[in-house]
Amino acid sequence: MNIAKVIVDIPVSSINQTFDYLIPEKFQDILSIGMRVIVPFGPRKIMGFVVDRTSESAFDKLKEISDVLDLTPALTTELLDLGRWVANETVSFYITALQAMLPQVLKAKYKKELVRMTDSELPPYLEELFSGRDVIAYEEFEGSVISYYQLQKAVQDGDISIDYLVKSKITKKHVTMIAPSRDLHLLEEALQDLSKNAKKQKQLLQYFLENSEPIEKKLLLERLQTTNQTVKILIDKALLKSYQVEVYRNPYDDDAFQRTTELELTDEQEIAIKPIKENIANNRHDVFLLHGVTGSGKTEIYLQAIQDVITKGEEAIVLVPEISLTPQMVNRFKGRFGSKVAVMHSALSAGEKFDEWRRIQRKEVQVVVGARSAIYAPFENIGIIIIDEEHETTYKQEDQPRYHARDVAIYRGKTHECPVILGSATPTLESYARAQKGVYKLATLSKRTNEKAMPEVEIVDMRDELHAGNRTMFSRELKDKIEHCIQKGEQIVLLLNRRGYSTFVMCRDCGHVKECPHCDIALTYHKNSNQLKCHYCSYEEPMPMNCPECTSDLIRYFGTGTQRVEEALTKLIPEASVIRMDVDTTRRKGSHEKLLNQFAEKQADILLGTQMIAKGLDFGNVTLVGVLTADSMLHLPDFRSSEKTFQLLTQVSGRAGRHELPGEVIVQTYTPDHYSIELASKYNFNDFYKKEMTTRKTFQYPPYVFLALLTISHQNKVKAVQTAQKIVQLLMKNIQNDTVVLGPTPSPILRVKDRYRYQCMIKYKNEPQLRSYINKILDLFAEESRKEDLLITVDMQPYHFM
Ligand SMILES: Nc1ncnc2c1ncn2[C@@H]1O[C@H](COP(=O)(O)OP(=O)(O)OP(=O)(O)O)[C@@H](O)[C@H]1O
Ligand SMILES: [Zn+2]
Ligand SMILES: [Zn+2]
Nearest CA to 719 among 781, 773, 800, 770?
781
Strand residue runs (E) in 517-637: 524-526, 531-533, 540-542, 555-557, 578-581, 606-609, 622-627
* The Cα angle at residue 133 between residues 132 and 138, in degrees rounded to 5: 130
- What tens digit of pLDDT does each residue of 564-620 get? 788 888 888 998 999 988 766 776 767 777 888 888 889 999 999 877 776 556 777
For residues 515-537, b (16+ Cβ closer than 10 Å) or e, as one string?
bbeebbbbbbbbeeeeebbbbbb
Let me know how long the chain is: 802
Farthest CA pair distance, the chain = 105
Q: Are 761 and 741 in contact (CB under 8 A)?
A: yes
Tell me: pLDDT of 332 over 60. Answer: yes
Residue 760 in marked binding region: no
* 3-state helix/strand/coil string of 64-130: ECCEECCCCCCCCHHHHHHHHHHHHHHCCCHHHHHHCCCCHHHCCCCCEEEEECCCCCCCHHHHHHH
Q: Tell me, in angstroms, the distance from the centre of ligand 1 to residue 124's CA.
A: 59
Nearest CA to 462 among 450, 449, 479, 445?
479
DSSP string, 640-654: THHHHHHHHHHHHHT
Architecture of domain 3-106: 3-Layer(aba) Sandwich (3.40)
> Domain segments of the chain: what residues?
3-106, 112-165, 254-445, 456-502+558-696, 706-795
Residue 418 in marked binding region: no
Q: Tell me, in angstroms, the distance from the centre of ligand 3 to residue 469's CA.
A: 36
Domain 706-795 = CATH 3.40.50.12500: no
- Answer yes or no: pTM beyond 0.90: no
Q: Provide the edge-to-edge strand list for the sheet that holds 706-714.
A: 740-752, 755-764, 706-714, 791-795
* The Cα angle at residue 757 between residues 756 and 760, in degrees rounded to 5: 150
| Spatial distance between the Cα atoms of 742 and 176, rounded to a whole number of angstroms | 64
Residue nearest to atom 15 of ligand 1 (CA): 297
CA-to-CA dists, residue 514 to 86, 242, 507, angstroms: 39, 75, 9
254-445, superfamily in CATH? Answer: P-loop containing nucleotide triphosphate hydrolases (3.40.50.300)
Instruction: Name, in order, each residue with C-beta under 8 angstroms of 750's C-beta and a sequence gap of 6 or more.
Output: 756, 757
| Spatial distance between the Cα atoms of 528 and 20, rounded to a whole number of angstroms | 55
Q: Which atom number of ligand 1 is nearest to the Cα of residue 300? A: 18
| Spatial distance between the Cα atoms of 488 and 243, rounded to a whole number of angstroms | 60
Q: Are 631 and 672 in contact (CB under 8 A)?
A: no
Residue to mutate (ligand 1; options 267, 296, 303; most atoms within 8 A of CB)? 296
| Spatial distance between the Cα atoms of 56 and 79, rounded to a whole number of angstroms | 25
Q: What is the pLDDT of residue 528?
A: 66
Tell me: pLDDT of 684 over 80. Answer: yes
Q: Tell me, in angstroms, the distance from the centre of ligand 2 to residue 504's CA.
A: 14
SS3 749: strand
Burial of 630 by CB count in 10 Å (0-12 exposed, 13-18 middle, 19+ buried)? buried
Q: What is the pLDDT of residue 587?
A: 66
Residue nearest to atom 26 of ligand 1 (CA): 294
Task: Give the model's confidence band at 500: pLDDT under 50 very low, under 70 low, under 90 confident, else very high.
Answer: very low
* The Cα angle at residue 235 between residues 231 and 239, in degrees rounded to 5: 110
Q: Tell me, in angstroms, the distance from the centre of ligand 1 to residue 301's CA.
A: 9
| 456-502+558-696: CATH, from 3.40.50.450, 3.40.50.300, 3.20.20.70, 3.40.350.10 | 3.40.50.300
Residues with CB under 6 A from ligand 1: 263-266, 269, 292, 294-300, 425, 449, 616, 654
Nearest CA to 91 among 752, 762, 696?
762
Nearest CA to 521 among 760, 677, 696?
696
- What tens digit of pLDDT does each residue of 388-436 get? 999 998 999 988 899 999 999 999 999 999 999 999 999 999 999 999 9
Residue nearest to atom 14 of ligand 1 (CA): 295
Tell me: pLDDT of 14 over 70. Answer: no
Q: Which atom number of ligand 1 is nearest to the Cα of residue 264? A: 1
Residue to mutate (ligand 1; options 262, 266, 296, 300; most atoms within 8 A of CB)? 300
Q: What is the pLDDT of residue 170?
A: 45
Task: Give the model's confidence band at 535: pLDDT under 50 very low, under 70 low, under 90 confident, else very high.
Answer: low
Task: Give the model's confidence band at 15: pLDDT under 50 very low, under 70 low, under 90 confident, else very high.
Answer: low
Tell me: pLDDT of 502 over 60. Answer: no
Q: What is the pLDDT of residue 501?
A: 41
The values of phi and psi at residue 618, to 5°, are -140, 90
Beta bridge partners of 38: 47, 67
Residue nearest to atom 1 of ligand 1 (CA): 265
Domains 3-106 and 254-445 share a fold: no
